[in-house]
């Protein structure tokens, strides 16, 4: 069984926190020599009375780094003459506070009341670098590095959920310029939010309604039904099952669910963490095997328990791509962007069959 990585905290020049996750015991002396301006903040959450949802307004993000050349990548290790966000010559996995956060502990302003309700955008946004190799991709990482990344996500989730202003922690990864990625270095992000985002709130409401009616977990019930049906199951191992959702919205969408009822990444056992790394990476390989048009652009996110609901929630990982065919992307139609009624051109059963055949 792999050992847990060594987590070493440090501080960047503008006061932001950084954590090094080393696979081997390492003595680190971290000193960020950059003359940085005070860190950005000042985002605001505004309440939309018509939809009963929050919108984050963060004007300072307009100046964030946008598609730099590889020799100016801010996520690569620092070298003589080029200092980056990572003040070290090498690293395994690193997590640090985003320099241009949508939510921040240094949010300013006061809450306002009716008719225009707002509150400071308190929270935290972090970047997680999966490797120091700029040209790598998560799908190609060795198993021990995948395990280190998952351990880092679990570590950060546990600490962020303990912050008093945090209601929800969302870990996610984007890959591909088609998705909107502006930094090509392999990395993910973590948002610690003071409110429940709309999709999670919808999942909470559905889960609560099911539990009130039956006394059971909705995700457990759906998983059992998908296993029994079998037509949309893509992959499985001893502790996880990956399937295409019956009402999937995206051309190719995979939901990875633990067989055991567990709410968060920190709640997984070491064996479950190992199995999650294997099946998650396999799902990415199956995505890439769909066609010869190059690496598939995707978004992957871990739907963890809202704070305080760890016992009643069931963890899931969602992976989807906007590529519907070689050279063709799924653009949101008017009814999808306008009123959120999704139209999927690929039946989920067909998507599952193609994904099963992709390796």
Instruction: Report pLDDT digits (tens) over 319-342.
Output: 999 999 988 999 999 999 999 999
CA 350 to CA 354: how far, in whole Å? Answer: 6
Long-range CB pairs of 137-140 (<8 Å, 24+ gap) are: 137/175, 137/186, 137/295, 138/173, 138/175, 138/186, 138/281, 138/284, 139/281, 139/284, 139/285, 139/288, 139/295
| pTM, to two decimals | 0.96
Instruction: Return the CATH class of domain 6-195.
Output: alpha beta
Is the confidence at residue 2, as pLDDT, over 70?
Answer: no
Instruction: Decide whether 6-195 matches 200-357 in CATH topology.
Output: yes
Task: For the chain, give the mean pLDDT.
Answer: 95
For position 19, what pLDDT does the model report? 98
Pick among 1.20.140.10, 3.40.190.10, 1.10.3680.10, 3.30.428.10: CATH of 200-357: 3.30.428.10
Cβ–Cβ < 8 Å for 256, 316? yes
Lowest mean pLDDT among 64-73, 165-174, 197-206: 64-73
pLDDT tens, residue by residue, 185-222: 999 999 999 999 999 999 999 999 999 999 999 999 99
For position 1, what pLDDT does the model report? 44
- Check if 187 is active-site: yes
Closest by CA to 134, choosing from 182, 176, 187, 186, is 186
Token couple for 2: 């792999």
Is the confidence at residue 41, as pLDDT, over 50?
Answer: yes
CA 235 to CA 254: how far, in whole Å? Answer: 10
Domain ranges in the chain are: 6-195, 200-357
From first CA to last CA, the distance across the chain in angstroms is 27
Q: What radius of gyration do the chain's Cα atoms show?
A: 21
- Among the options 31, 60, 155, 187, which is catalytic? 187
Mean pLDDT over 101-111 rounds to: 86
Higher-pLDDT residue of 27, 187: 187
pLDDT tens, residue by residue, 119-142: 999 999 999 999 999 999 999 999
Binding-site members for Zn(2+) are 73, 76, 134, 185
Q: Confidence class of residue 63 from pLDDT cuts 50, 70 and 90?
A: confident
Binding-site members are 73, 76, 134, 185
Is the confidence at residue 42, as pLDDT, over 80?
Answer: no
Lowest mean pLDDT among 42-56, 99-113, 235-249: 99-113
């Amino acid at each position: 069984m792999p050992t847990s990585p060594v987590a070493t905290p440090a501080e960047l020049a503008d006061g932001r926190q950084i954590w090094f996750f080393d696979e081997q015991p390492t003595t680190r002396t971290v000193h960020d020599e950059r003359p940085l301006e005070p860190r950005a903040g000042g985002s605001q959450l505004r309440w939309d009375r018509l939809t009963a949802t929050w919108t984050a307004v963060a004007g300072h993000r307009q100046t964030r780094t946008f598609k730099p050349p590889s020799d100016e990548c801010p996520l690569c290790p620092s070298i003589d003459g080029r200092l980056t966000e990572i003040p070290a010559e090498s690293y395994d996995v690193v997590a640090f506070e985003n320099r241009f956060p949508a939510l921040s502990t240094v949010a300013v302003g006061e809450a306002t009341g009716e008719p225009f309700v707002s509150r400071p955008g308190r929270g935290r946004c972090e970047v997680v670098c999966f490797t120091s190799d700029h040209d790598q991709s998560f799908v190609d990482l060795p198993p021990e590095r995948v395990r280190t990344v998952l351990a880092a996500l679990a570590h950060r989730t546990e600490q962020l959920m303990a912050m008093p202003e945090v209601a929800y922690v969302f870990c996610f990864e984007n890959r591909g310029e088609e998705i909107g990625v502006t930094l090509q270095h392999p990395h993910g992000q973590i948002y610690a939010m003071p409110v429940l985002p709309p999709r999670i709130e919808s999942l909470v409401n559905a889960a609560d309604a099911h539990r009130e009616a039956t006394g059971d977990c909705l995700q457990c019930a759906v998983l059992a039904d998908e296993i029994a049906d079998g037509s949309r199951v893509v992959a499985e191992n001893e502790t996880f099952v990956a399937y295409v959702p019956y009402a999937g919205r995206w051309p190719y969408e995979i939901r990875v669910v633990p067989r055991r009822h567990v709410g968060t990444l920190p709640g997984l056992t070491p064996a479950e963490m190992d199995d999650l790394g294997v099946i998650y990476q396999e799902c990415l390989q199956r995505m890439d095997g769909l066609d010869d048009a190059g690496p598939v652009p995707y978004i992957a996110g871990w739907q963890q328990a809202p704070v305080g609901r760890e016992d009643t929630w069931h963890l899931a990982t969602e992976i989807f791509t906007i590529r519907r065919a070689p050279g063709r992307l799924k653009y949101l139609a008017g009814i999808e962007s306008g009123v959120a009624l999704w139209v999927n051109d690929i039946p989920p059963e067909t998507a599952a069959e193609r994904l099963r055949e992709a390796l």
